[in-house]
A and B are shown apart, each in its own frame.
Chain A
Amino acid sequence: MHRRGVGAGAIAKKKLAEARYKERGNVLAEDQIVQMSKQLETFKSNLEEFASKHKQEIRKNSQFRVQFQEMCATIGVDPLASGKGFWSEMLGVGDFYYELGVQIIEVCLALKHRNGGLITLDELHQRVLKGRGKYAQDVSQDDLMRAIKKLKVMGSGFGMIPVGGSYLVQSVPAELNMDHTVVLQLAEKKGFVTVSEIKDSLKWEKERACHVLDHLLKEGLAWLDSQAAEEAQYWLPALFSELTSRDVTPEEANQMTP
């Protein structure tokens, strides 16, 4: 670990010392390069010292992670930008979040057939924890959100929609505009929504409501219950909670309906 850090820094430093920056008359002076190299070395040893004392803290303490991330953001540094960064290598923050990214992708992929690529942050959190197993480090929802922000870079359609005090995590590039988002938020309370409810709460015309609901159906984000008592209900599988539903085994399913 220590050696690797020194290697990366030494190469960077060497390149700096050797490089002559010439571009349309802008020449980087020799002493500027030297100054930068020196400061780089000093900073690296500060970071190493910090790491030796507090590396465990970052792994164990989610509050500390939040503070660390926020401070980095304030000074304009992204510690998660590269696995090859100092932060990543010496503090081990990188692996923590990149691995979390893998786990998030896998959970979303596994459930996509059921919820169309939309899942509550709570459910995602639960399932990621379950997948990590007993001996892995606990993760907070803040950790998940930061990992998801990083995943966006890969064009995977990852996004977060604020709903009812928490978030829905989207993992497919389905186009969801303000109208769709607002209907999702409306559906959050009961897990479903009807055309009348949309008209009453949002004061929309019937066409607008139907247009949005049709889109959600097409994208597989909503299921239609046309046999509901008064009017058709549009259910969102992403919002099914433990209290209103339970995963059924095939044997149980066979026993249930004639």
Chain B
Amino acid sequence: MDRFSWSNGLLEINETLVIQQRGVRLYDGDDKAKLDVGVALLSTHRLIWRDVKNHECCIAMPLSQILLFEEQAAGIGKSAKIVIHLQATPANKEPGPYQHSKYSFIKLSFKEHGQIEFYRRLTEEMTRKRWENTPASQPIPIGTGSQAGRTRAVGIVGIERKIEEKRKETDKNISEAFEDLSKLMVKAKEMVELSRSIANKIKDKQFGLRSYLLSMGIADPVTRETHGSGTHYHMQLAKQLDDMLQAPLEERGGMMALTEVYCLVNRARGMELLSPEDLVNACKMFESLKLPLRLRVFDSGVMVVQLQSHSEEEMIASALDNVSDKGSLTAEEFAKLLGLSVLLSKERLLLAEKMGHLCRDDSVEGLRFYPNLF
């Protein structure tokens, strides 16, 4: 930790921010640093850390100080970390939070995740070494002197060997996994080719083949718009949705965006979640199963589930009433009035406009609808 210097946290002219991550605690070697949890920032030139509560407390270190770094996986009760091994302190280093440290490495502990991306970006920056091309206006202290060089050589060998061994071990595990994955994929490919050749011959909907294709994750070449994928699974789902959505739909004026339904249903399930496609395919079956719900697609592409009882005329008539009542309405105002989402209230107004009952006033202040007196 004695490699860090106090900093004002402002970027230099040629320096760019690469990534930042909250919830990072610093370690001086294996010991927790005498700092709280803060924000770690990686720029093209430096590693910066700032206390979350006290923005004045900000420290930085040039990336050129970094010798090696490695990931340390999370464990039970332990957050994922990045261990960074450092070069010797340069003579012209500015003062920082630690005068002296017995360790030549620090750790970043990611208490709120983000370790994967931070590590990836750090790897990228350390490979590109952009600080060498565009030196920041402040001189970046570099480790010099034969003294520093010699200490480096002795210290490194042991560390490098340890890291290499660990990498080999990890690589072996991952290689095995990848090898198994490759073998699996070869078999899967055979299945796909076989099913494709068969599916091409079959034009009619056959539940058996459909289920099989679905299980394998193969796009069904004979999907029909009206019936979706038409499997038993989706039929069951459609019925479940009917039960589940009656009350929420009533509460929301008879209409819900499909994304809303997706969140509602999956939050309720907790596990064995629906894929977006499952949801769409199930909704497409409402009509053929004679359920009182409908999937509807607006011109904008927005998809909603609506109660069949909510006829279009009713919606348009009520929209016209509301607008006439208030003189004019924007989508936001309409949404507030009805307790609908802004997205859906906008669709209703657009629909009423399409049918000729409303006309618009489109300006930078927003889109406002008036009764159509023409």
Show the binding face of A for B, using Cβ within 8 Å: 8-9, 11-12, 14-16, 18-19, 21, 23-24, 26, 28, 32, 35-36, 39-40, 42-43, 46-47, 50, 53-54, 57, 60-64, 67-68, 71-72, 74-88, 94-95, 98-99, 101-102, 105-106, 112, 122, 125-126, 129-130, 132, 134, 136, 138-141, 150-157, 172-173, 214, 217-218, 224, 241-243
- A-chain residues with CB within 8 Å of residue B106 when the two chains form the complex: none
Inter-chain contacts of B39 with A (CB < 8 A): 242
Distance A32 CA – B17 CA, assembled complex (angstroms): 59
Decide if B278 touches A75 in the complex (CB within 8 Å): no
A12 to B233, CA, bound (A): 11
- Contacts A154-B259, A155-B303 given; indicate if A138 touches B218 (C-beta within 8 A): no
A15 touches B208 (CB 8 A): yes
Instruction: Select which of A42, A83, A105 is within 8 A of B263 by beta carbon.
Output: A105
Which residues does chain B contribute within 8 Å of A11, judged by CB atoms?
A: 211
The answer on a CB contact under 8 Å between A130 and B262 is: no
By a beta-carbon cutoff of 8 Å, the part of chain B in contact with chain A is: 11, 17, 19-22, 39, 73-74, 79-80, 110-117, 120, 174, 177-178, 180-185, 187-192, 194-196, 198, 201-204, 206-209, 211-212, 214-219, 233, 257-259, 262-263, 266-267, 271-280, 297, 300-303, 342-343, 362-364, 366-367
- Name the B residues within 8 Å of A105 (CB-CB): 259, 262-263
In the complex, the answer to whether B112 meets A130 with C-beta atoms within 8 Å is: yes
Give chain B residues whose Cβ lies under 8 Å from the Cβ of A112.
342
Partner of B275, one of A64, A80, A106, A122: A80
The reply to whether A28 and B184 form a contact with Cβ atoms under 8 Å apart is: no
Of B19, B177, B267, B278, which one neighbours A82 at CB under 8 angstroms? B278
Pairs across A and B, CB under 8 Å, 10 listed: A36-B212, A47-B184, A78-B217, A80-B275, A86-B216, A86-B217, A134-B112, A151-B259, A151-B276, A155-B301
Residues of A within 8 A of B183 (CB): 46
Hey, which chain B residues are within 8 Å of A39, CB to CB?
190-191, 194
Using A16-B212, A64-B174, A140-B116 as known contacts, say yes or no to A82 and B217 having CB atoms under 8 A apart: yes
Cβ contact within 8 Å between A98 and B258: no
Q: How far, in angstroms, from A130 to B113 measured CA to CA in the complex?
A: 8
Task: Find out whether the CB atom of A43 lies under 8 angstroms from the CB atom of B188.
Answer: yes
User: In the complex, A43 Cα to B366 Cα: how many Å?
Assistant: 57
10 new A-B contacts, CB < 8 A, other than A102-B267, A136-B113, are A9-B215, A16-B209, A28-B201, A61-B174, A79-B217, A83-B275, A83-B278, A101-B266, A122-B19, A154-B262
A98 contacts B275, CB within 8 Å?
yes
Interchain CB contact under 8 A, A140 and B120: yes
B277 x A81 contact (CB < 8 A): yes
Do B276 and A173 touch across chains, with their CB atoms under 8 A apart? no
Bound CA span A23–B363, Å: 57
Chain B minimum-CB-distance residue to A81: B217
Q: Tell which of A18, A26, A152, A173 touches B300, judged by Cβ atoms closer than 8 Å.
A: A173
Give bound CA distance, A8 to B236, whole Å. 14
- Closest Cβ neighbor of B50 among chain A residues: A242
CA distance A112 to B259 in the complex (A): 14
Question: Are A99 and B266 in touch, CB under 8 angstroms?
Answer: yes
Residues of A within 8 A of B208 (CB): 12, 14-16, 18-19
